[in-house]
Chain A
Amino acid sequence: AQTVTQSQPEMSVQEAETVTLSCTYDTSESDYYLFWYKQPPSRQMILVIRQEAYKQQNATENRFSVNFQKAAKSFSLKISDSQLGDAAMYFCAYRSPGGGADGLTFGKGTHLIIQP
Chain B
Amino acid sequence: GAGVSQTPSNKVTEKGKYVELRCDPISGHTALYWYRQSLGQGPEFLIYFQGTGAADDSGLPNDRFFAVRPEGSVSTLKIQRTERGDSAVYLCASSLGGWVTDTQYFGPGTRLTVL
Chain A residues near B111 (CB-CB < 8 A): 43
A96 at the interface (CB under 8 A from B): yes
Please measure, in the bound complex, the distance between the C-alpha atom of A98 and the C-alpha atom of B102, giving whole angstroms: 12
- Bound-state CA distance A33–B42 (Å) is 17
Interface size range of chain A in the complex: 20 to 34
| In the complex, chain A residues whose CB is within 8 Å of the CB of B43 | 45, 91, 104, 106
Query: CB distance A43 to B58 under 8 Å?
Result: no
Contact partner of B41 (CB less than 8 A), chosen from A104, A105, A108, is A108
Q: Is the CB of A44 within 8 A of B107?
A: yes
* Nearest CB in chain A: distance from B30 CB, A: 10
Measured CA separation A20–B31 after assembly (Å): 32
Interface size class of B (residues with CB under 8 A): 20 to 34
Which parts of B63-106 form the interface with A (CB within 8 Å)?
Answer: 89, 91, 93, 98-101, 103-104, 106
Contact of B108 among A42, A47, A100 (CB under 8 A): A42
How far does the Cβ of B49 sit from chain A's closest Cβ, in whole Å?
Answer: 9
| A103 / chain B contacts, CB cutoff of 8 Å | 33, 35, 45-46, 48, 56, 59
Contact with B along A19-63 (1 / 0, CB 8 A): 000000000000001000100001111110010000000000000
Taking a contact as CB atoms under 8 Å apart, the answer to whether A99 and B42 are in contact is no
Contact B58 A102 (CB under 8 A): yes
CA of A50 to CA of B45 in the docked complex: distance in angstroms?
A: 19
With A45-B43, A106-B43 known as contacts, the answer to whether A99 contacts B106 (CB < 8 A) is no
Chain A CB within 8 A of B40 CB: yes
By a CB distance below 8 angstroms, the chain A residues around B12 are none
Let me know if B55 is at the binding interface, CB within 8 A: yes
For residue A45, which residue of chain B has the nearest CB?
B106
Complex Cα distance, B107 from A56, in Å, reads 32
Contact surface of A with B, Cβ cutoff 8 Å: 4, 33, 37, 42-47, 50, 91, 93, 95-109
Going nearest first, the 4 A-B pairs with the smallest beta carbon separation are A106-B42, A100-B98, A103-B45, A45-B106
Can you list 7 A-B contacts (CB < 8 A)?
A42-B108, A45-B106, A99-B99, A100-B56, A100-B99, A102-B56, A103-B46
